[in-house]
Structure 1
Amino acid sequence: MDQLLTWVIDAVQSMDPVLRTLIAGVAIMLETSILIGLIVPGDTVVLVAAVGVTDVWQGVFLVIAVVIGSLLGESIGFWLGHWIGPHIRHSRIGRWIGEDHWVRSERYLQRRGGIAIFLSRFLPVLHSLVPLTVGMSEYAYRRFIAWTLPACVLWATVYVSVGSLVAGSYKELADRVHYAGYLFVGAILLFLVIVFAVKKVISRREEHHMSDADGPSA
């Protein structure tokens, strides 16, 4: 396993840093703007790119690129929702997503406002649908960006930091510890499990909040 991981990490690190950073930024932009995130999670793209980080400045520029890509993607999603949101919703891809998800996204925005925009960056499915839903609402673009910017910065910083630190630690241990590869895989899996658990907790809390909000009006 160590040889395979060393080869993968070396391959990622051997890429031109500028190209690697641009690919990550563009991938994140596409994730939200055209719903690719429903198929290929942005988490994977950023973690792989972060593995290639070899110094602080590469990490800083990667975070900046991911944040810019996220903002561009969410802005495109917002304006697509504003201009042709209903058409997308009733198109083939909109029906594939499922009307229940569209309704959930609408209700979530109505109940939580800006908090929904911030938290959606960390929630499955909703992080791709909320920008479109906000665009179809009367929500102002400036308010949308004001809420999504800090979420994008936090998300990008955490993923780039974890990916680069774990890869760096593996490279230091690989020549001294014969099971370093297992430690690397274990660390990544632990991080993903923690992320999954946090997303579940946030999702359940938000669902509970919405159910409470629906109760009195029923």
Structure 2
Amino acid sequence: MNDVLTWILETVSSVDPVLRTALAGLAMMLETSFLVGLIVPGDTVVIVASTGVANPVEYFSLMIAVICGAVIGESLGFALGHHFGPYIRRSRLGRRIGEANWVRAENYLNRRGGVAVFISRFLPVLHSLIPLTVGMSAMRYRTFIAWTVPACVLWSAAYISVGSAAAGTYREVSGQLHTAGYFFVGIIIAFIVAVMLVKKWLHRRESRHMS
């Protein structure tokens, strides 16, 4: 496993840090603003990009890029919802998302306000729909951004920290332990499981506000 994992991490690291960071920020922007997150989750993009982090400068650069990309994407989603929300909802893509999901997003926003904006960053489907839904609502942009920025910071810090720490630990011990690859995979799997449990708990806790 070590050989395969080393090849994967070296491939990611071989990408120019500036390009890798810019692509991660761009992916986060597209995830929310144009519903790309419904197809390619931003979680995956950020985890992969974070494994290439080699020093504190790259770590904080990636953090800033991902946060800015997420905030810009949320803002674009708000603008698209404000100007084209009803059209997007009636479009082929909107129909594929499902009217039930649009209604859930509306109910959640109406009943929870800014809290829905914050928590939706950590919930599947809703994290892509809420910015558009807010744009179609009476909530002001200033209120929306005040709730979404802290959520983006927390989300980005969690994924980048775990991904870079797991990869850094692997690089340090891979030459000494033949089982180092399993430690790396174990850390990532444990984090993913923890995230899934938190998302499941949040969804169960908040679902009564969506029905």
TM-score range, shorter chain: over 0.9
* Deviates most, 97-106 or 173-182: 173-182
Question: What's the offset of the Cα at 1:73?
Answer: 0.6
Q: 1:17 corresponds to which residue?
A: 17
Query: In 2, Cα distance between the equivalents of 1:106 and 1:181?
Result: 44
Question: What's the offset of the Cα at 1:206?
Answer: 0.5
Q: 1:94 corresponds to which residue?
A: 94
Question: What's the offset of the Cα at 1:63?
Answer: 0.6
* AA matched with 2:125: V
What do residues 85-118 of structure 1 show as CA deviations (whole Å, max 9, x unaligned)? 0000011000000000000000000010000000
Residue 83 (structure 2) pairs with residue 83 (structure 1): yes
What do residues 35-90 of structure 1 show as CA deviations (whole Å, max 9, x unaligned)? 01001100000000000001111111101000100011111100000001000001
Which aligned pairs between 1:123-202 and structure 2 lie closer than 5 A?
123-202=123-202
* AA matched with 2:90: H
What do residues 6-26 of structure 1 show as CA deviations (whole Å, max 9, x unaligned)? 011011112111110000000
TM-score by length of 2: 0.98
Structure 1 stretches of 4+ moved >3 Å: none
* AA matched with 1:63: M
Query: In 1, Cα distance between the equivalents of 2:71 and 2:179?
Result: 40
Secondary structure, aligned partner of 2:12: helix
Q: 1:45 corresponds to which residue?
A: 45
Residue 58 (structure 2) pairs with residue 26 (structure 1): no
Q: 2:107 corresponds to which residue?
A: 107
TM-score by length of 1: 0.95
Question: What's the offset of the Cα at 1:179?
Answer: 1.2
* AA matched with 1:98: G
Secondary structure, aligned partner of 2:203: helix
Unaligned runs of 5+ in 1: none
Q: 1:36 corresponds to which residue?
A: 36
Secondary structure, aligned partner of 1:54: coil
Query: In 1, Cα distance between the equivalents of 2:143 and 2:18?
Result: 32
* AA matched with 1:207: S
Unaligned runs of 5+ in 2: none
Q: 2:117 corresponds to which residue?
A: 117
- Count residues with an aligned counterpart: 211
Query: In 2, Cα distance between the equivalents of 1:186 and 1:39?
Result: 25
* AA matched with 1:44: T
